[in-house]
Amino acid sequence: MSRRCRRGSTVSAVSSVASVRRLAGEALRCPEPADKAPMIAELVELAVGLDAAAEGIAVVGDDEVDVLDPRDVGRPHRIDLVAPRDLKRRTWGTEAGRFATLHALAHIEANAVNLALDAAHRFGAMPPAFTVDWIRVAAEELSHFEALGERLTVLGGSYGDLAAHDGLWDIAVRTAHDVGARMALVPLVFEARGLDVTPGLIERFERHGDDASAAVLRVVLRDEIGHVEVGSRWFTHVCTERALDPIPEFERLVAEYSLLLVPPFNVEARCAAGFSVDDLHRWEAEFLGSRGSPSSTTGA
């Protein structure tokens, strides 16, 4: 397969898991989200065909797809990736501070596009419906990135103007070997944290008169509930296939990867995404018992 990034494709209209996974891999190689867009549009069309015929399609082995090393994924050229401690802090009450927040969110969405594409590309042993789900997620994540990019433009800048950290993609690299770990930790820890913090960001933007950015984040929040639910559903599927109890296995993976479930939780959104209110209350009590008070630190 060519490593050259292309705008558009000539893939046969006959949908197959292999063709979708290959094109997802090619989209992953593209550094710029804008260059991924036409391929993601085609992937969505292919996914419609896969969805319609999913019950009659066999699983595609990795010997039929040149699976990309996650460290070789294309990254935007202008982004300066630094350690979290090296990111400059900006005051929320300034336009520069609000720009920095939108830029950080755009960076998360750029990573989320790659994460969804990578799930569709990488895990060939999963049912075709898994591939379909993550292609649809990739398209929605791209729309979030584009909407946030428009807000950055209105504020006089663009994505790449500020440095960013790479914590979200680091966990993608660390879970590339295991679909169970990927489903548990990316959607159910990192992305679920967004469900907790986004309502507060919406309120802050509104308080500072930026209703347009708040409106974008409302769409992001609505869609991310569905994305976390996709992760929850497929994590449960993997656990069922492996004869594992999902909750103890989730907690084991969180501990193994040295991650935290940080309250306060957006209980309504998390329950809509597949979490149990009893588990959320228990995790909050455990966190408070070990740390003393809730934290507003984000997971991504």
The pLDDT tens digits for 117-158 are: 999 999 988 999 999 999 999 999 999 999 999 999 999 999
Which phi and psi angles does 291 have, rounded to 5°? -115, -25
Contact of 30 with 36, CB cutoff 8 Å: yes
Say what the pLDDT of residue 52 is: 60
Say what the pLDDT of residue 17 is: 86
Amino acid at 155: L
Q: 190: closest CA among 116, 289, 249?
A: 116
Q: Consecutive sets of 10 residues in the chain, 300 residues long: mean pLDDT of each?
A: 46 63 95 94 88 54 77 89 78 87 96 96 92 96 98 96 89 96 97 97 95 98 98 98 98 97 97 98 92 47
Q: Which residues of 115-151 are buried (b: 16+ CB within 10 A; e: fewer)?
A: bbbbbbbbbbebbbbbbbbbbbbbbbbbbbbbbbbeb
Contact of 137 with 227, CB cutoff 8 Å: yes
Contact of 159 with 106, CB cutoff 8 Å: yes
The CATH class, in words, for 82-291 is: mainly alpha
DSSP result, 15-77: --HHHHHHHHHHHHH-SSHHHHHHHHHHHHHHHHHHHHTGGGPPPPPGGGS-PPPGGG----T
Residue spans per domain, the chain? 82-291
Total Cβ atoms within 10 A of residue 71: 9
